[in-house]
Amino acid sequence: MAKKIYLIIVALIVIALVVSYGILTNFKKEIVQDPVLKRIQTRGKILVGTDATYPPMESIDREGNFLGFDIDIAKEIASDLGVKVEFKNIPWERLISFEPLLNDEVDLLISAITITRERSEKVAFSIPYLNAGQVIVTTFENLGEIKGVKDLSDKKVGVQLNTTSEEEAKKYSNSVVSFEDYTKAKEALLKREIDAIIIDYPAALGLVSRTPNLTMVGEPFTQEFYGIAAKKNATQLLSKVNETILRLKNEGKIDELVKKWFVE
């Protein structure tokens, strides 16, 4: 009898220790030391910066609503964090300086930002959420002369300022024209002020689908990866962002978004 009581007491102690460990573990998980994540939780809202001139990745409709591939991903991040999301439209040149992020005007930047070593020195990037190489866009009239990057040496090539597209264009063309955004580059191409545009593949799909006179030349000639930018000290926030990206990939939702924004 005494042995039974002893075993019961031991079992109860073990159970108590397991439960206590679980409570302490969960408690530790709830401790937030990341200053950016703390601010988001206190505010009940995450501020996301984007340059909304780059459909189908990000744009603004006539009613002032933000929409696009990146916008949907940001909304998923906010949902997983249990907070609302507010988007801030930031011109690309300022956005890619990362000042709005480093000055705490926004908590994250998602705007078809290609992950590069130079940029990674300033900010921390999430795991890649999309592979988007560079492609040539031109008019149907120019297809006879422009069949690949080797044909661009004597052509005027339009790009967006301070992008990897601009870097790539300079490798192949002696006349690169940089624009504030791709809307202006498209207008210049249609007016024959330039001969072609170099642009990320997803954005190229959106560009040609909305403009009958434009087409892509061949396949992407580079491989590049988009990432979401955060401050380097926002480690817990970035971890949660990565969790959302992995969830979207595992659930097949990234593929659904690709179909929604680039194909249909």
Check if the beta carbon of residue 226 is closer than 8 Å to that of residue 134: no
For the chain, the domain total comes to 2
Check if the beta carbon of residue 76 is closer than 8 Å to that of residue 82: no
Ordered per-residue pLDDT tens for the chain, 264 residues: 544 444 444 444 444 444 444 444 443 455 889 999 999 999 999 999 999 999 889 999 999 999 999 999 999 999 999 999 999 999 999 999 999 999 999 999 999 999 999 999 999 999 999 988 999 999 999 999 999 999 999 999 999 999 999 999 999 999 999 999 999 999 999 999 999 999 999 889 888 988 889 999 988 999 889 999 999 999 999 999 999 999 999 999 998 998 899 876
CA angle 261, 177, 53 (to 5 degrees): 30
Residues 110 and 185 in one domain: no
Residues 145 and 199 in one domain: yes
Does a structural domain hold residue 160?
Answer: yes
Residues 48 and 75 in one domain: yes
Does a structural domain hold residue 16?
Answer: no
Q: Which amino acid is at 252?
A: G
Does a structural domain hold residue 19?
Answer: no
> What was the pLDDT predicted at 216?
94
Domain of 205?
Answer: 134-217
Does a structural domain hold residue 7?
Answer: no
Does a structural domain hold residue 153?
Answer: yes
Residues 148 and 200 in one domain: yes
Does a structural domain hold residue 234?
Answer: yes
Residues 64 and 190 in one domain: no
DSSP string, 87-147: EEE--HHHHTTTHHHHTTS-SEE-SSPBP-HHHHTTSEE-S--EE--EEEEEEGGGTTT-S
Does a structural domain hold residue 54?
Answer: yes
Question: What CATH number does the domain containing 57 carry?
Answer: 3.40.190.10
Q: What is the C-alpha separation between 166 and 159, in angstroms, rounded?
A: 5
Q: What is the C-alpha separation between 2 and 161, in angstroms, rounded?
A: 82
CA neighbor of 83 nearest in space, from 32, 11, 143: 32
Per-position b or e across 10-44, b if 16+ CB within 10 A of its CB: eeeeeeeeeeeeeeeeeeeeeeeebebbebbbeee
> What was the pLDDT predicted at 31?
86
Does a structural domain hold residue 142?
Answer: yes
Residues 143 and 110 in one domain: no
- Kindly tell me the burial class for residue 117, based on how many C-beta atoms sit within 10 Å of its own C-beta (0-12, 13-18, 19 or more): exposed
**What global pTM score does this model have?**
0.74
Residues 113 and 53 in one domain: yes
